[in-house]
Structures are given as structure tokens and as C-alpha cells.
Amino acid sequence: MHNFNAGPSILPKEVFQEASKAILDFNNTGLSILEIGHRTPLFEGVLNEAVSLLKELMSLDSNKEVLFLHGGASTQFFQIPMNLLAEGKTAAYLDCGVWGSKAIKEAKLFGNVNVVASSKDKNYSYIPTGYEIPSDVSYFHYTTNNTIEGTEMHSIPQTNVPLIADMSSDILSTVMDFNKFSLIYAGAQKNIGAAGVNILVIDKNIVGLAGRKLPTMMDYKSHIDNGSMLNTPPVFAVYVCMLTLRWLKKIGGVAAIEKINDQKASLLYNTLDALPMFNLPVAKEDRSKMNVVFTISDPEVEKAFLQTCKDNGMYGVKGHRSVGGFRASLYNALPLESVQALCGLIKDFATKKG
């Protein structure tokens, strides 16, 4: 099988092997990873290693805290304004996709939202430019990679206000200065691990910005004070993240995976660009390296293409229900060979049906 699914998605084979071994016998303890206490040196070792691997792979400075939380990226849509946006204050948001627009909706529950720019006018098929981020807002929020629409921001916006990014679908896929951000969050199930855990990188200086009284489980400060162990963490999901981070380090870290990701994306885009049968709705300069969105105009041919994918063990190529067409997700763990196989299939199909 070649797995192009958008999420939960492919992980390295050795991570699956290691994780399944640990379900039966974790580190030769005779115990399953699923039955050990979370406040044991065994699990603390896993969590500490995951935190330090992430700090190392992202080259984080000493102001940054790494948290592993529950609730998926969607919980951060409200937990961020809850912690960082005081009533009567304003936060700036960039509206460039379905996920970002959900974050905007939630932020409005806590304070004022200034949508500095939107690409909704063209189905979120491009990333807006030329907008200004006011210097008096509490923070600026954007989505680095729009998983559903297939656009990606290829540079970090310039601003003097705290920068917050949803990196759920492109975290650790490309080299960037992660220290420029006051808060980074990502659901693990796209590029880092198993569903059920959410990764947060937060600058200590921003904690408590809203000055609001919060339920303990919603308060970033209490999670930091308790080292992501305020309550039982999603033990297995954290373990799978740790294994994937180990794998990423072993193959050479973010710089090494970026090279492979570049190869995969250019191979697929070049193949599609050369074939008139396929349409690419996304502005060229904003194309995502993680989620490649494309369509075929004739619905009958579209159906036939999906069937051909299915017949050839290509999984998860169907587009998101809100966009239609196709989407091939090329996350870190997807080998180049899978993209080569898909490109071969695409060319064959175009020859037969074109």
C-alpha cells in the first residue's frame, strides 16, 4: 500500500514495529506500555526524551516550553484566546483556510478579532499578501499549511507582536526559525505521531497574557508547572511521537527530511503540470509541499482515476469533501518511492484516458 492519507497518516515503518513491540513488552520490562503508570521512571523517560528531541530538532531556545496535551489542535482554537486574549483586547488572524476560520470563530468568544486578510473569495486557493498586522494586538495567528486546500506559507510573517501558528500539517517538514514564534501547536496525527496528543511549543513570557481565571486543565501555566503531567497524559500517543522524533533525528533531522520533501513535492507537481488532464487550483507560489490538491474536470474520468488508485494500492487520494477532486498528502514518513509510484500511475492513466 502507498498511503497518501491526510490524517491520521503514514508513520515510519520502524515506528509501527517498535510501537507494536512495546504494546506486548515495553523495553524488556515484561509489561505493556499501555499498563505502566504514567508517574513511573519508565514513562517519565519517554516523555522527557520526547521533549528533549523536539527541542533539539527545532533548535528551541531556553525560553521555550514543550507541552504534550490532550484535545487535538481544535482545542487550541479556544485554549489560545482563553489564555492569551483578554476581554476587550484584539487579536489579529489571517483567514486562509477552513482550519484557520475555525480558530477565528473560537477566538471571538473571548475578545475582539481583527481578520487582517482572507482568501475566502477564491476558495482559499492562495495565501493573501500585502496585509498589515497592527502593532497593538495581543497576538497574530495563522496556519502555516492549509491541509484541506493545499496551500502553504513559505515565509514567516514580519511582525513585532507575538506570533502564533497552527503547524498541524507541516511541523518539522521544513527548516525554519521556530524561535520566532511565541506559540506553535500541532495535532500529532499528521506529521509526528498517533492521534490523541497535541504538541505545544510556548514561550514562557506569553503565559498568562489574558490575565483570566481559568479551569486548571485549560491553564497553560498549570501544564507547564506540572510538566505535561497534570493528569494522565495520552501515554501511548506520546510514546509514538517519541519514536517518530527518534527516527527523524536518526535520518538527519529537519534539514534532511526537507530535501526529501522537496523532491517528493516537485516530482508530483511537475508530473501534474505536464498533463492537461489535471487541474491545479492552488496559486503556484503558495503550493503546499505536504498536501497536493488536484482535480479532473470530467466527473466520470475523476471516478475512473479514483478507482485506478484503489486498484493499485494507492490509499487516501480522494480530496476533502469541501474541495473535491484529489489530495495526495506527502508527509515526512511517506517515502519517495510512493510518490514515484503515484506519478507512474498518473502518467499511465493520462495516456490511456487522455
Ligand X SMILES: *Cc1c(COP(=O)(O)O)cnc(C)c1O
Count of Cβ atoms closer than 10 Å to residue 334 Cβ: 24
Choice among 64, 89, 95, 99 that is catalytic: 99
Q: What is the β-pairing status of strands 90-95 and 112-118? A: parallel
Pattern of binders to ligand X over 181-200, x per CB under 6 A?
A: ------x--x----------
Establish whether 190 is a catalytic residue: yes
Question: Binding of ligand X at residue 73 (CB under 6 A)?
Answer: yes
The reply to whether 166 sits in an annotated binding site is yes
Q: What is the β-pairing status of strands 291-296 and 278-279? A: antiparallel
Question: Binding of ligand X at residue 5 (CB under 6 A)?
Answer: no
The dihedral through the CA atoms of 280, 281, 285, 288 has a sign that is: negative
Choice among 64, 89, 190, 264 that is catalytic: 190
Establish whether 298 is a catalytic residue: no
Establish whether 203 is a catalytic residue: no
- 87: Cα separation from own chain's centroid: 29
Q: Which of 150/187 has CB closer to ligand X?
A: 187
Q: Where are the beta strands (DSSP E) in the chain?
A: 2-3, 64-69, 90-95, 112-118, 140-143, 145-146, 151-152, 163-166, 183-187, 198-203, 278-279, 291-296, 314-315, 326-329
Question: What is the smallest separation between the CB atom of 143 and ligand X, expressed in angstroms?
Answer: 5
Pattern of binders to ligand X over 78-117, x per CB under 6 A?
A: ---------------------x------------------
Q: Residue 146 is placed in which grid cell?
A: 492549509
How many positions of this chain bind ligand X (CB under 6 A)?
12
The reply to whether 73 sits in an annotated binding site is yes
Q: Which residue has the cell 498589515?
A: 132
Question: Binding of ligand X at residue 281 (CB under 6 A)?
Answer: no
Question: Binding of ligand X at residue 329 (CB under 6 A)?
Answer: no
Q: Which of 33/184 has CB closer to ligand X?
A: 184
- Residues forming the active site: 99, 166, 190
